[in-house]
Amino acid sequence: MTNHQSITEHFKISAPVPFVDVNAHTDTRLFVDPRAIRIEKNPSPYNADANQCTRTFFDTVTNYIKSSSSADNYRALELLQHFREPKQTRLGLAKSGINGHGGSEEVGQWIWETLSTNANALLRIGTLKWIEDIPLFIDGVGNDITSDLTTRIIFKPLAEFTSAMVAKYPEFRAAPHKMIKSDHQIWNPQSCTWDEGTFELPSVNGVPLLLVPKNWVRPNLLMTATRYYETQMLTYVQRKDASVDTKGKLLLTSKDRIIESGKYPRGRKTITDVTTDAVINHGADPLADFRYFVDSRYEPRG
């Protein structure tokens, strides 16, 4: 059946291809991962542009949040409320993305409120500094929403990658297939504003198609709240609460027993409180340790 065709099957392109070959007609449970893009081992111009987009977006938003000006604080909120759910990549969970969570305005409000209150100390001391840190600290923001946010921020590099793939594979233009010109919201890393751009994209049944490099997507984000909690956050708690026996041996409580104790319940509040206490009061940085842990175990999908 045609609705089960992959992109290469639909356009009759011989695999393998450098883009993720998802279902051309429906969403596939894969997510654009900003950490995977940042640590790409074989960076391309598209990779560099995507990282510039996420870096300048996050820096702009957080600088506005840290400002003493209420007008700047409002500008941060405005920038965070431009995340219409991207349909062009055929990635994610259609019922669980931004539209499934009440729309971009509500999601932007969640992020703005957390960065302005609970996680503000981490923001100000520079511990929380990347777009991929967001799902660790903000309730309701996981694989799907992080992927949607990232896709919107890096839409232009993705469109330029798609253009290069169309040039490489003429099957995208071959009859009966048609290219579509359409306007899309893009992040401008030079002016640090949202702009509009016109792009010519391949189409499937009249719907534009945005291609994504293979290594930019994951079945689960590299950096999730659950993974952070179970690895570096609890490792920090083990060391902080450790005791020493009569022979000078360090005694660590198992992570299972720490969880069972109920002192550090799962959740973003615990993650935020423990990380803030570690950095401010104990000179530790479990979030930096977590990034190192994630990066050292990263294996590209391509």
DSSP strands (E only) in the chain = 31-32, 179-188, 193-204, 207-208, 217-218, 243-244, 250-251
DSSP strands (E only) in 92-190 = 179-188
Mean pLDDT, the chain, integer: 91
- The model's pLDDT over 259-278, given as tens digits with 9 standing for 90+, comes to 999 999 999 999 999 999 99
Collapsing DSSP to helix, strand or coil, 205 comes out as coil
pLDDT of 105 over the 70 cut:
yes
pLDDT of 218 over the 60 cut:
yes
| Residue with tokens 């005694």, as numbered in its chain | 251
pLDDT of 102 over the 50 cut:
no
For residue 41, give both structure tokens. 């081992």
- φ and ψ of 29, to 5 deg: -80, 70
pLDDT of 216 over the 90 cut:
yes
pLDDT at 67: 96
* Spatial contact of 298 and 39, defined as CB atoms under 8 Å apart: yes
* Spatial contact of 190 and 3, defined as CB atoms under 8 Å apart: no
Confidence band of 194 (pLDDT split at 50, 70, 90): very high
pLDDT at 95: 53
% of the chain beyond a pLDDT of 90: 76
Cross-strand partners of 251: 243
- The model's pLDDT over 52-100, given as tens digits with 9 standing for 90+, comes to 999 999 999 999 999 999 999 999 999 998 877 677 888 886 554 434 4
Across 8-22, 89-103, 145-159, least confident range:
89-103
How far, in Å, CA of 39 to CA of 291, rounded? 10
Cross-strand partners of 183: 198
Domain boundaries, the chain: 2-218, 225-296
Cross-strand partners of 186: 195
Mean of pLDDT values over 203-227 = 94
pLDDT at 2: 55
- pTM for the structure as a whole: 0.92
